[in-house]
Structure formats: C-alpha cells, structure tokens
Structure 1
Amino acid sequence: MLDELDERIVRELTSDARRSYADIGQRVGLSAPAVKRRVDRLRASGAIQGFTVRVDPAVRGRRTEGLIELYCRRQTTPEMIRKGLEGYAEVVSASTVTGEADAVVQVFAADMEHFERVLERIAGEPFVERTKSVLVLSPLLRRAG
C-alpha cells in the first residue's frame, strides 16, 4: 500500500516521469534524496513498474480509435487471447472483462479502412466467435496509471 507521500510522488511522476527529484521534492515537501529513496523503494517493491513515454497516436498516423469487444469460443484462455493479439501493432491494450464479452481491445488505426481491416483480421482469429466494435468520437479523459 502507498502512503500519502508515495501517492503524491507517483502522481508527479505520472504527469511527467522526467521531472527531477528536486522538483518533485519541492512539490511534496521532501528533499531530493528523500524522494529518490522513496522512488527506489517503490521500484524495488514493484509498485512502480517502469518509466515510459506516452506518444500521441496521431503523430504516428493513427487518428482513428476503436474498441472491439471479443466474444470467444469455449475453452479460450486469457493467455490465448493475449498471444493472439500481441502481433497487432494497432492494439494498444486488451483486457478480459465482466459481462457478455470476454475481452475488450483498444485499437488505433490510420483511418476507417485501416480499422476495418484490423477488425476483420482480429475477427478471423481462431479463438474469436464474434466481435462488436465502437469508434471513439472524442476522448474525454485519459490518465496514465
């Protein structure tokens, strides 16, 4: 469990992972070495799993976002779904879910035609019985972590 200071440090790193320990310390009321010790501890415990860069998909020519619900054949495991989807560069996330669908897949494509091709390829995977998809019109809120 994260204490209040850890939460504040994580929020600062989530908003900008390149922020210095001194800057974070100033924002949360700790010295830079104290922030570093906490970050090191959070990394060692697995609470912080790494640092990354968030790139706007549009700069890579991916302006069309869609969500695909997967309805899978019997005996399909989450690992089978993961392995089946990991080769799609357009897939940015996939999760098993509650409800009627077995999984939801987030896809970024260049345009509608590209999205349709990806959808058809995913629908053709051996573990997929059927799909249902929606296109994102305007993302309203996105948070990292």
Structure 2
Amino acid sequence: MRAVRQCTRSACDRAAVATLTYVYADSTAVLGPLSSSAEPHAYDLCEVHAERLTVPRGWDVVRLATEFVAAPPSDDDLVALANAVREASRSTPQASPPAHRPGPTDPAPVTHRLPEPSADGEIGRRGHLRVLQGESE
C-alpha cells in the first residue's frame, strides 16, 4: 500500500501537497503540485509550508499552482488497502509455546562458530555484501 508522503520540513507530520525543486543555474525555486513519485532532489511540502515558502535574496519563485489540495485516494490505494486487509484476515497468529527455563539437567547452550575463511578472508555472504574475517588481537 502506498503511504501518504509527509512534509519534508523538520518536525512536520502533515501530509505533503506540493513539491519544491530548485534550478540553481537560474537561481529559481519551482513550487508545483505534488509529484507522482518522491524524487531525491525535490522537497515535498504541506500546505502551510508551501504557502510560507521564502527563497534567498535575488532568487525567483515560480508557483505552478496557487491552491494546494491533498490528492484523493486512487483506485490503486483502495485495491492495496483491500488486499492488505484480506491478507491480514487470512493469517491467524499462532500461539507461541511457553518459554523454557533451563534446568540443571539441560545440556549446555550451543555456541555459533563462524565458518573457516576462504583464501581472501571471506567467511560469508549476504546479497552483494561479503563478511570478512577480522584481525585477531
């Protein structure tokens, strides 16, 4: 399910309704309707912060919209919500067994040993990351 994007301003938890981008070469800030997807070099702003936007002296502001309204839920949002509810209702939580407290007759706990390192020092992989054997002190 697609979550509602929030305002990128610090400590603001309101829903974003506008997207702010900068054109540094032209010293221009462009404020428009909320973009369809989050971009790394754009800032999503709530209505309050979009209306209060100020820019450095000498910069221009291009406002592509004067009124900002939150986007209504799309069909994709409603379908995703219905699927999430359906999936949650199918899976029933299993009762966990009571915790076992070790007694005097229980065997000693098994400790995990690292595999032997290969020639280049690799002892494991997880995706594209490698685990390397560290230096012993």
Higher relative contact order (Cα pairs below 8 Å, separated by 6+ residues): 1
Q: TM-score, normalised by structure 1?
A: 0.21
Query: Higher helix fraction: Structure 1 or Structure 2?
Result: 1
- Please tell me whether Structure 1 or Structure 2 has the larger radius of gyration of its CA atoms: 2
Q: TM-score, normalised by structure 2?
A: 0.22
